[in-house]
Amino acid sequence: MDRHLSARALLTSAAIFALGSGCIPTNPYQTTFNVPTLFLKDKNDRIKQGVQVTVMPITRENQVNFPQIARQVKWREPDPSTWVPSGVENRTQASQAFERSGVVELAPLPAFFVGISNHTGSTISLSGMKIEVEDSAHRSYSAILNAEVLRRRFFGDVTGANPFLAGDRPLMDDLMRQISNLPILNPGVEVPSGDVWRGFLALDIDARTPKEYYSLMKSIRGFTVRLKDVPTAAGLADFYFELDKAEKAITLNCAGGVRDPSPEQCAVAR
């Protein structure tokens, strides 16, 4: 066996053992991580009497394909190695800061991109539409129907997960404006004949951190999205979409001290 390959295998095995036993690896390690994805069982659109509805899942795995939801941002954090406690006398230098960057989700994930194409000959209003989403464990999820609720949810999530980003007032103001401009699926949507409405179905999901997101996705086998009482040329119709979960194994290179390895905490091996 190749000497380097053997050493890498031993390092990976040791890391897996340490994680499984509740210990935090102190040295850099490599581990396998199963990235959850969602896909539609059937085609991603339904056509009924002049109305076409398309649904596409948005997950951490594919969020970069939806820049309206996933924003690449930069913020500054104090360098822990130069931090000086307040009250210490004779300080010779202030704490240093360094720039960080990452992706920020403006809506809880998973979410869904929705397109509604109207070829009925008249404007359709979704005022009577009902939105139902449940997972394979029959847990129901309420839709977030307006930007104000989404802004409050976003602010609470970011404040808890990243207080340095939340403290950057100009950045937060910009992100809040972007949320206000998001097209959100709700009963106030109207689609003129010949037009296509494109927007997002955001859910009030109790997963506020990457760790909670992966825990949720591990617990389910899929989701069902139902848009009921959508007006068509022949009356009201229901549009159902079944989504299954799949997992893609990737290799992560993690620094020592990372207790919960994930693509957000570690580097994906190339």
What residues does 137 pair with on adjacent strands? none
Q: Which residue has the higher pLDDT, 269 or 241?
A: 241
How far apart CA 219 and CA 209 sit, in angstroms, is: 16
Q: Which residues contact 38 (CB under 8 A, 6 or more apart)?
A: 57, 59, 110, 222, 223, 243, 244, 245, 246
Question: 57-87: per-residue pLDDT in tens?
Answer: 999 999 999 999 999 999 888 866 555 554 5
pTM higher than 0.75 for the full model?
yes
| Longest Cα–Cα distance in the chain | 80
DSSP, collapsed to helix, strand or coil, labels residue 65 as helix
Residue 26 has pLDDT above 90, yes or no: no
Beta carbons of 254 and 265 less than 8 angstroms apart: yes
How far apart CA 161 and CA 18 sit, in angstroms, is: 26
Q: DSSP labels for 130-173?
A: EEEEEETT--EEPEE-SHHHHHHHHHHHHHHH-HHHHT-HHHHH
Chain-centroid distance, C-alpha 20 = 26
**Would you place residue 270 in the very low, low, confident or very high pLDDT band (cuts 50, 70, 90)?**
confident
DSSP 8-state secondary structure symbol assigned to residue 63: G
pLDDT at residue 85, as a whole number: 53
pLDDT at residue 92, as a whole number: 44
Q: Which residue has the higher pLDDT, 266 or 17?
A: 266
- Spell out the domain ranges in the chain: 3-78+95-268
DSSP 8-state secondary structure symbol assigned to residue 67: T
Mean pLDDT value of segment 166-186:
96
**Would you place residue 90 in the very low, low, confident or very high pLDDT band (cuts 50, 70, 90)?**
very low
Residue written as token pair 């396998």? 32
Beta carbons of 121 and 156 less than 8 angstroms apart: no
